[in-house]
Structure 1
Amino acid sequence: MATTLTKTDLGELIRLARVKRGLSWAEIAESIGKDPVWTVAALLGQHPLAAGDAATVASLLDLDDEAATVLQTVPYRGSDAATATDPTIYRFHEALAVYGPAIKELIHEEFGDGIMSAINFQMSVQRRPHPEGDRVVVTFDGKFLDYAWTHSAQEVSR
């Protein structure tokens, strides 16, 4: 039988099931021994879960076998156009539009010609008290990947 449940639809079911059961994202992450940010991204459709982790989450949230199977599939990563208009997500687009070129320059100055990996990557979200209102602290922690320009044997022999 073909699976008709999409990762996007499953993400919505998971959001509802989590609230219905009174679970925090951190509790779900702890149940599978994974980082909370990674776990939430996975459960919203951005990463596949190992079979055992998918079974644990399905049991915890009372999801069926089809949902456990969908949790294990490799996703098409990224988000749809509607997600980009969410105010919280849009602020990240806005911040990177304003500060992205400066971040790029500072990375290149510190590390050289390369990029920060979003594959070999960790992220954390924390709250920091502040007199004018609590602050959201988001840390991106990605491996630096230098551009390694190689030339084919044909180019070198010229």
Structure 2
Amino acid sequence: MSIPEITQKLLAAKKDKGLSFTDLEKILGRDEVWIAAAIYRQASASEEEAKQLVEALGLDESYVKELTEYPVKGLGPVVPTDPLIYRFYEIMQVYGMPMKAVIHEKFGDGIMSAIDFTLDIEKEEDPKGDRVKVIMSGKFLPYKKW
């Protein structure tokens, strides 16, 4: 997976400033995962959000325009090779159909929106090793008959 040049520059500025995504969440008033998605060009920012981000990172306003453009989303048609990202791919291979079956049983025939959607990542401390808690919440959209 290639990382866009703007993403590389934004991440370098974030590192140089010693900022975390949590720090940026406090500055922009948007969730840290959404901010990361905007930086990785998987979400588009409003002009105000882009200006706040660019200012927080100490960059010039030339980045604002690109951050507000509609991105091309997704990893592409290949199996991800990054181990962390691959684990999510593997989770969907193993649990995708069971998740689909349970969702259909509880909600009916439809999908979970990835547009009306939130994603939170939490750290759960555990004496056996810290755990990653991923919380996805998407609006249920039933298929319509016509």
Q: Distance in 1 between the 2:57 and 2:91 partners?
A: 35
Choose 7-16 or 49-58, whichever is displaced more.
Answer: 7-16
Alignment partner, residue 145 of structure 1: 141
Which residue of 1 is the match for residue 126 of structure 2? 130
Q: CA deviation at 1:66?
A: 2.2
Name the aligned partner's letter for residue 84 of structure 1: P
* Number of aligned residues: 144
* SS across alignment from 2:70: coil
The alignment yields a C-alpha RMSD, in angstroms, of 1.6
Residue 4 (structure 1) aligns with: none
* Consecutive unaligned residues in structure 2, runs of 5 or more: none
* TM-score normalised to structure 2 length: 0.92
CA distance in structure 2 between the partners assigned to 1:81 and 1:26 by the alignment: 31
Measure, in 2, the Cα distance between the counterparts of 1:99 and 1:83.
17
Deviation at 1:65, TM superposition (A): 2.5
Residue range with higher mean Cα deviation, 37-46 or 59-68: 59-68
Partner of 2:8: 12
Structure with the greater alpha carbon radius of gyration: 1
Correspondence for 1:36:
32
The Cα offsets for residues 40-99 of structure 1, whole Å up to 9 and x where unpaired, read as 111110111111111111111122232111111010111246882111100000011000
Are residues 1:96 and 2:92 paired?
A: yes
Q: 1:19–1:83: structure 2 CA closer, same or farther, 3 Å change rule?
A: farther
Separation (CA, whole Å) in 2 of partners of 1:146 and 1:82: 29
Q: 1:54 aligns with which of 38, 50, 56?
A: 50
What's the % identity of the aligned pairs?
38
Whether 2:81 is the aligned partner of 1:85: answer yes
User: Are 1:118 and 2:106 matched, yes or no?
Assistant: no
Shift of residue 116, structure 1, vs aligned partner: 0.5
Pairwise CA distance, 1:107: 0.1
Note the C-alpha offset of 1:28: 1.1
For residue 94 of structure 2, what is the amino acid of its counterpart? V
Contact 1:83 1:89 in 2 (8 A): no
